[in-house]
Amino acid sequence: MANGILLIECADQQGIVSSVTDFIYTNKGNIVELDQYLDHENGHFFMRIEWALDDFTIEKEKIGEYFNTLLAKRFDIRYNLYFNDEEPRMALFVTKLSHCLIDLLGRWYNGSLHVKIPVVISNHEYLRDIVEKFGLKFYHIPITKENKAEQEQKHLEILEENKIDFVVLARYMQIIGEGLIKSYESRIINIHHSFLPAFVGAKPYHAAYARGVKIIGATAHYVTEELDAGPIIEQEVSRVSHHNTINDLVQMGQDVEKITLAKAVKKHVLRKTLVVGNKTIIFN
C-alpha cells in the first residue's frame, strides 16, 4: 500500500515532534522515515515524515482534515500532504539539446522516476522525433520577441489542461515569464550549466574557459524572477584541465548537467525539498 508524506514547517516550539509522531503512531501508522531540521538562527522548525498507510486507521481522504484540525491549527503549522502512490505530473521544456531530455525520459521509461509526463514543450521542432519515439505529446511553441507574451499564455493553458504539477526546464533556452513563475512558485526546476553563483547568464562554459577554472559544474535550482538566482537544489562538479577546449567543457558539462538535474527532480518528486527564503532544505 501507499505511504503518506507530510512536509511540515512552523515556529520552533515544544512538543511538535512528539505530537506529530504520536499522531502517526496512535493511529497505527508505521513511520518509514523521519528527518527534521531546526533553523536556530530564525527559530524555524522543518520536518518530513513518511509513514506506511497499511494499518493506518484514518482513511486516506480524511488524513489532511484530521492533521489540520488536530495539529496544524494547534502549532500553527504550514504543511503539505502527499501520497507516494500518486505520481506527480511533470512538464518538460526543451530547446535543441537532448542530453537532459533523454536522461529524464530514460528514467521515466524504466520506472525509476515516479512521474507522469503528459507533455513536452519546445520552442523548436528538433526534439519532436525523440519525444514521440517515447510515445509522449510534443508541443512546438515557437518564441519570438513579438509573440512571447502570447505564447507564455499558451504555455499556461497547456499546463493547466494537462494538470501539470511541476515543470522541468531541461536546457530550455528561453527566459521564463513572470506569469508562469508565479503560477508555479517553487515548482519550476531549471538546470544551469555552471557552478552558481559563478557564471550567471548565457554561455557559462565560454566564461569558465576564459577564466581558466580547474573545475566546472552544474546547478539545479527552483526558478525565481531573478535570473539564475533561485534556491539551489543540487550542484555537481567535474575536473577540467588546460587541455580542454570550450567544446570539451560543453561535452563534459553535459554529463554533469543531466545527473544534477535528475537528482534534483528525483528529490522534488520524493517530496524531499522544502524552499525557505532563497534556500532549500533537502531531507534524507
105 neighbors 132 (Cβ within 8 angstroms): no
Q: Could you give the string, one character per residue 246-265, with x where binding to its own copies holds by CB under 8 A and - elsewhere?
A: -----x--xx---x--xx--
Q: Which is nearer to its own copies, 18 or 57 (CB)?
A: 18
Contact pick of 11, 197, 201, 225 for its own copies (by CB under 8 A): 197
Residue 30's beta-bridge partner residues?
52
- Which grid cell sits at 135? 510515445
191 neighbors 219 (Cβ within 8 angstroms): yes
Q: Which is nearer to its own copies, 156 or 213 (CB)?
A: 213
2 neighbors 85 (Cβ within 8 angstroms): yes
Tell whether residue 173 is a contact of its own copies (CB under 8 A): no
Distance CA 29, CA 53 (A): 6
Tell whether residue 280 is a contact of its own copies (CB under 8 A): yes
Tell whether residue 243 is a contact of its own copies (CB under 8 A): yes
Is 76 among the catalytic positions?
no
Tell whether residue 180 is a contact of its own copies (CB under 8 A): no
Classify residue 119 as left (phi > 0), alpha (psi -120 to 50) or beta: beta
Q: What is the smallest separation between the CB atom of 64 and its own copies, expressed in angstroms? A: 22
Instruction: Give residue for cell 522515515.
Output: 33
Contact pick of 2, 32, 70, 158 for its own copies (by CB under 8 A): 32
| Nearest Cα residue to 3 out of 53, 49, 48, 43 | 53
Q: What is the smallest separation between the CB atom of 176 and its own copies, expressed in angstroms? A: 20
Residue 56: φ, ψ to 5°: -65, 130
Distance CA 142, CA 258 (A): 24
Distance CA 216, CA 235 (A): 11
Distance CA 153, CA 274 (A): 28
Q: What is the smallest separation between the CB atom of 218 and its own copies, expressed in angstroms? A: 11
Q: Which is nearer to its own copies, 90 or 261 (CB)?
A: 261
With CB under 8 A as the contact rule, which of the stretches 60-68, 81-89, 181-189, 210-218 interacts with its own copies?
Answer: 210-218
- Which grid cell sits at 23? 499522531
Amino acid occupying residue 1? M
Contact pick of 2, 27, 34, 64 for its own copies (by CB under 8 A): 34
Tell me how many residues contact its own copies (CB under 8 A).
Answer: 65
* Start-end of H helices in the chain: 16-26, 60-67, 73-75, 99-109, 128-133, 148-161, 178-183, 204-211, 246-269
Contact pick of 57, 163, 211, 226 for its own copies (by CB under 8 A): 211
Tell whether residue 99 is a contact of its own copies (CB under 8 A): yes
Tell whether residue 202 is a contact of its own copies (CB under 8 A): no
Tell whether residue 50 is a contact of its own copies (CB under 8 A): no
Contact pick of 7, 72, 103, 192 for its own copies (by CB under 8 A): 103
- Which grid cell sits at 114? 515516479
Instruction: Catalogue the active-site residues.
Output: 228
Per CB under 8 A, residues contacting its own copies are 14-15, 17-19, 21-22, 25, 31-34, 36-38, 40, 97-99, 102-103, 105-107, 109-110, 112, 130, 133-134, 195-199, 211-215, 217, 231-237, 239, 241-243, 245, 251, 254-255, 259, 262-263, 278-282, 284
